[in-house]
A = this chain, B = another copy of it.
């Protein structure tokens, strides 16, 4: 008989998903056709649907993958020597929209989640997890006296995520705006929100 390496199967799936990701980024979830994805991945339709049940499933898979990816990277920060400090750096990275933290599909994913219950579930579940992790960082910061203890960590975490989401809109609305500058100001804004009443954090 034959019993083939499931790792190879997974690898191919990832490969196809990456090609799909490029197509989706270019044309949106609905604008990208399966045949465009086939072309990008250099496979036939039969082959494509051998790996994914439907285009819907591809959209769900890539969304899940991207969100998971962001989660993993965020969680890894927790293991560093200075969690809160590294966390702030992570936000910076996310806001500058350049580090591999960046996900050009974010707006599409959010919009899609407004119309598609499956996607909504994926996004919401991922948000629950992400929010919890961010809240943990904020609590850590509160313990260290670097974050205002009046802030509700869960709520503040939601705000952090919302600001990162919002930062994606800047590139769309004003492509000429310097991302470095806007990112820095967004970060400053968050840090001021975090700052305990005493410390003014002028710079």
Task: Report which A residues bind B (CB closer than 8 A).
Answer: 26-28, 30-31, 104, 107-108, 110-115, 120, 123-124, 127-128, 131, 155-156, 158-159, 161-170, 172-175, 177, 181-182, 185-186, 188-190, 192-193, 197, 200, 202
Contact = CB atoms under 8 A, between A and B. Distances in A.
A172 B107 contact: no
Contacts of A107: 107, 110-111, 114
Q: Summarize A's interface: helix, strand, loop or mixed.
A: helix
Query: What copy number does this chain have within its complex?
Result: 2
A82 B175 CA distance: 32
Contacts of A168: 110
B197 A182 contact: no
Contacts of A104: 114
Contact of A200 (B167, B173, B185, B197): B197
Given A28-B30, A111-B111, A169 B174 contact: no
Contacts of A128: 174
A10 to B, nearest CB: 28
9 contacts: A108-B114, A114-B172, A123-B172, A156-B185, A159-B189, A161-B169, A162-B182, A166-B166, A197-B202
